[in-house]
Chains A and B, each alone.
Chain A
């Protein structure tokens, strides 16, 4: 799949990509891909279009993304200080964190008692929707283009007319006995 939409501020894009990759990780898109940690085979949330989904006007997240990226990098700096980690200055602080540190920080930010949890849960939710639903694309087009998330799920494709029908759907035999108190209308008594 395509890399995320080019952006006037690559640091914001990289930061959001690194967050999305923490939620559902994938393989590096190119050898020196810094946003994607490369801890999982096949495409993850980033290759599935997470940043595009976050930037859709429909989603409602777009106006908040710059400040969210800034806040995330602030949390990453704090995390690094707390754990005495040295951050590579060439990339945004969250991107500079190793995958286990990214995970630990996202766990903190989405914990039930974190004051900003709503925002970070939202970013996680949109990252997940990019992967499992390709919400920025028509599903038929996403499948035809080999969308990594839908491919990972093994989502069955539609028929030739672009619609889903499953003519074979049932084992076609009695597999359990009904509850003895079932009424003639088929309901519990």
Chain B
């Protein structure tokens, strides 16, 4: 007779939602196993290389859907390894959004004020720091100067980057080989390991079933570490508590595939997906105008030509993050670098006489690549995304050995979303085309649909069981002992980069998960310090959770 492995807490995914829960639960005394679908790379294993099979394709997933393509992390550390480390908090009005459901989307217990102590915990742990203009690369400076020229404000954004280590190489999407990006590989995950947690890479969870003692059996496949289409093994682990944090593009798929084993899922599982209202515009600058109008010049006299140089988004314009504006008209604009290899195909030619995204005119646009600047819109979409039938395994039918797959997400932007995009396109043009600085075109949605690097809300928290899959403690309705702590739990678009909010919500969810584990007989306590031992964040939140953790 085969004996199934047992643990107290099984965590699915090792990004922000998984790593934070794994650390606190392990530090509190629980036996924790983390199953991660992607590989485990660190430090110098992160290549500065676009070749297939280098870290750029190993740690990244690009899933093409029907009307929406999702880019996400696929490795130990999840999104924190491949993201650009911009860590703003969500503006106050976001928590009062109603979206299309006619009532507040967020649970009444959560507002910016109640979330701030949890944001503080994350800021202490990573840590998050503020940049000044000396940290801002040419591209961010150019955007800031253009904003000022247009009578707008622009802020250097808070980031999880060690500025002394950063080389401004702009290879962040392949993982940071200089350990400048403060990914989860440098804080929560090593701290979880130090407390006995186990992390198993290349383990892709397929579905959950119940055990006779009220726990869960988690079924997984082990993937070949080069060709992710190939199964190298399979197994199952029993756990008393499951923390599901596979990312908003995968968590609902695992739950949908589990339905025959667990019983009906809440109707919001796999619905209300948000792409964070994301949209990209590419500007091509006239170098002479950059010098003459904005007075910018590098030490060698070149005005800009700096698209390749930097560290992702460094400067954002928050003028439209105005809570007095109606919903769907609020957005932020952020200067961004998008590397080659998917980073040019969707850019469109201004004033094209032929096709806009390919052809001879597109090649001419590429000749001016050094003078490009990408502007990233994060707006309020309408949670239009719905996941269709589940693929045979994982969250997509993998087309390539790594990275590229075809998923079942269907997204048709509503008039509300389209209006936000149109208004942000107009704002970008107003800033960047002023006085002949640049020509601007949005990326086309005609090739792979819309796209997002910040998938959200596909299994969200809320007070209304009809429109939220999770209660305000992140427990899956009607399935006690299953918690969801990744971006899928966020109720809707945030108008800013969501990592800080996903992480803060995960921090906030931990005391409730500890409580549920205790009720299931797990010897665990809440109250670990920051991964490096700092205690200010803990001091601030302990009074908030007294009586809720059973300590």
Please pick, from A56, A140, A170, the residue contacting B52 in the complex, using a CB distance under 8 A: A56
CB distance from B167 to the nearest CB of A (A): 4
Residues of the B chain whose Cβ atoms lie less than 8 Å from the Cβ of A139: 48-51
Residues of the A chain whose Cβ atoms lie less than 8 Å from the Cβ of B369: 152-155
Residues A188 and B154 in contact, CB atoms below 8 Å apart: no
- Contact string against A for B residues 36-65, beta-carbon threshold 8 Å, 1 for contact and 0 otherwise: 000000000000111111100100000010
Q: Which of B100-108, B260-268, B269-277, B395-403 contacts A (4 or more CB under 8 A)?
A: B395-403
CB distance from A41 to the nearest CB of B (A): 9
Residues B167 and A165 in contact, CB atoms below 8 Å apart: yes
Residues A158 and B48 in contact, CB atoms below 8 Å apart: yes
Residues of the A chain whose Cβ atoms lie less than 8 Å from the Cβ of B363: 24-26, 40, 44, 152
Residues A185 and B308 in contact, CB atoms below 8 Å apart: no
For residues 143 through 162 of chain A, which have their beta carbon under 8 Å from a beta carbon of chain B? 149-150, 152-156, 158, 162
Q: Which of A5-13, A71-79, A82-90, A122-130 contacts B (4 or more CB under 8 A)?
A: A122-130
In the complex, the chain A residue whose C-beta lies closest to that of B305 is A154
Q: Which of B136-144, B379-387, B456-464 contacts A (4 or more CB under 8 A)?
A: B136-144
In the complex, the chain A residue whose C-beta lies closest to that of B44 is A163
Residues A163 and B88 in contact, CB atoms below 8 Å apart: no
The secondary-structure label for the interface of chain B is loop
CB distance from B339 to the nearest CB of A (A): 8
Please pick, from B48, B158, B168, the residue contacting A187 in the complex, using a CB distance under 8 A: B158
Residues A112 and B355 in contact, CB atoms below 8 Å apart: no
In the complex, B153 has a CB within 8 A of chain A: yes
Residues B91 and A189 in contact, CB atoms below 8 Å apart: yes
- Contact string against B for A residues 18-61, beta-carbon threshold 8 Å, 1 for contact and 0 otherwise: 00001111100000000000011000100000000000111111
Residues A164 and B169 in contact, CB atoms below 8 Å apart: yes
In the complex, A17 has a CB within 8 A of chain B: no
In the complex, B340 has a CB within 8 A of chain A: yes
Please pick, from B89, B134, B360, the residue contacting A39 in the complex, using a CB distance under 8 A: B360
Residues B141 and A58 in contact, CB atoms below 8 Å apart: no
| Cα(A183)–Cα(B123), bound, Å | 14
- Contact string against A for B residues 119-141, beta-carbon threshold 8 Å, 1 for contact and 0 otherwise: 10001000010110111111001
The secondary-structure label for the interface of chain A is loop
- Contact string against B for A residues 164-180, beta-carbon threshold 8 Å, 1 for contact and 0 otherwise: 11111111111111111
In the complex, B310 has a CB within 8 A of chain A: yes
| Cα(A133)–Cα(B134), bound, Å | 30
Residues of the A chain whose Cβ atoms lie less than 8 Å from the Cβ of B237: none
Residues B48 and A58 in contact, CB atoms below 8 Å apart: no
Residues of the A chain whose Cβ atoms lie less than 8 Å from the Cβ of B53: 58
Residues B169 and A58 in contact, CB atoms below 8 Å apart: no
Residues of the A chain whose Cβ atoms lie less than 8 Å from the Cβ of B49: 138-140
- Contact string against B for A residues 94-118, beta-carbon threshold 8 Å, 1 for contact and 0 otherwise: 0000010001001100111000001
Residues A106 and B358 in contact, CB atoms below 8 Å apart: yes
Residues B51 and A122 in contact, CB atoms below 8 Å apart: no
Residues of the A chain whose Cβ atoms lie less than 8 Å from the Cβ of B358: 22-24, 106, 124, 128
In the complex, the chain A residue whose C-beta lies closest to that of B496 is A188
Residues of the B chain whose Cβ atoms lie less than 8 Å from the Cβ of A140: 49
Residues of the A chain whose Cβ atoms lie less than 8 Å from the Cβ of B359: 22-25, 103
Residues of the A chain whose Cβ atoms lie less than 8 Å from the Cβ of B293: none
Residues A175 and B145 in contact, CB atoms below 8 Å apart: yes
In the complex, A137 has a CB within 8 A of chain B: yes
Residues A186 and B168 in contact, CB atoms below 8 Å apart: no
Please pick, from B52, B153, B399, B400, the residue contacting A178 in the complex, using a CB distance under 8 A: B153
| Cα(A89)–Cα(B246), bound, Å | 54
| Cα(A186)–Cα(B446), bound, Å | 36
Residues B52 and A58 in contact, CB atoms below 8 Å apart: yes
Residue with the greatest number of chain A CB neighbours at <10 A, chosen from B48, B51, B134: B51
Residues B318 and A179 in contact, CB atoms below 8 Å apart: yes
In the complex, A67 has a CB within 8 A of chain B: no
In the complex, B548 has a CB within 8 A of chain A: no
In the complex, B341 has a CB within 8 A of chain A: yes
For residues 319 through 342 of chain B, which have their beta carbon under 8 Å from a beta carbon of chain A? 319, 321, 332, 339-342
Whether A60 contacts B168 in the complex (CB less than 8 A), given A171-B141, A188-B496, comes out as: no
In the complex, the chain A residue whose C-beta lies closest to that of B398 is A60
- Contact string against A for B residues 399-429, beta-carbon threshold 8 Å, 1 for contact and 0 otherwise: 1111010100000000000000000000000
Residues of the B chain whose Cβ atoms lie less than 8 Å from the Cβ of A173: 133, 141
- Contact string against A for B residues 225-250, beta-carbon threshold 8 Å, 1 for contact and 0 otherwise: 00001000000000000000000000
In the complex, B298 has a CB within 8 A of chain A: yes
Please pick, from A60, A135, A186, the residue contacting B88 in the complex, using a CB distance under 8 A: A186
CB distance from B261 to the nearest CB of A (A): 31
Please pick, from A111, A152, A165, A175, the residue contacting B148 in the complex, using a CB distance under 8 A: A175
Residues A186 and B158 in contact, CB atoms below 8 Å apart: yes
| Cα(A177)–Cα(B358), bound, Å | 38
- Contact string against A for B residues 87-98, beta-carbon threshold 8 Å, 1 for contact and 0 otherwise: 011111000000
Residues B51 and A164 in contact, CB atoms below 8 Å apart: no
Residues A129 and B157 in contact, CB atoms below 8 Å apart: no
Residues A129 and B341 in contact, CB atoms below 8 Å apart: yes
| Cα(A122)–Cα(B69), bound, Å | 13
Residues B148 and A155 in contact, CB atoms below 8 Å apart: no
Residues A165 and B342 in contact, CB atoms below 8 Å apart: no
Residues of the B chain whose Cβ atoms lie less than 8 Å from the Cβ of A150: 340
In the complex, A2 has a CB within 8 A of chain B: no
Residues B137 and A155 in contact, CB atoms below 8 Å apart: no
Residues B51 and A138 in contact, CB atoms below 8 Å apart: yes
Please pick, from A153, A168, A187, A188, the residue contacting B298 in the complex, using a CB distance under 8 A: A168
CB distance from A150 to the nearest CB of B (A): 8
Please pick, from B130, B138, B366, the residue contacting A24 in the complex, using a CB distance under 8 A: B366
In the complex, B170 has a CB within 8 A of chain A: yes
Having A163-B48, A170-B138, A182-B318, one finds 19 other A-B pairs with CB under 8 Å, namely: A24-B363, A59-B401, A125-B342, A136-B51, A139-B49, A158-B48, A164-B171, A166-B169, A169-B168, A171-B141, A173-B141, A175-B144, A177-B148, A178-B156, A180-B153, A185-B119, A186-B157, A187-B89, A188-B318
Interface residues of B (CB under 8 A from A): 48-54, 57, 64, 88-92, 119, 123, 128, 130-131, 133-138, 141, 144-145, 147-148, 152-158, 167-171, 177, 229, 296, 298-299, 305-306, 308-310, 315, 317-319, 321, 332, 339-345, 354-355, 358-360, 362-364, 366-367, 369-370, 398-402, 404, 406, 446-448, 496, 500
Q: 17 A-B contacts, Cβ less than 8 Å apart?
A: A59-B400, A103-B359, A112-B446, A132-B344, A134-B50, A136-B52, A155-B369, A164-B171, A166-B137, A166-B169, A168-B299, A169-B310, A175-B148, A176-B155, A186-B156, A188-B318, A188-B496
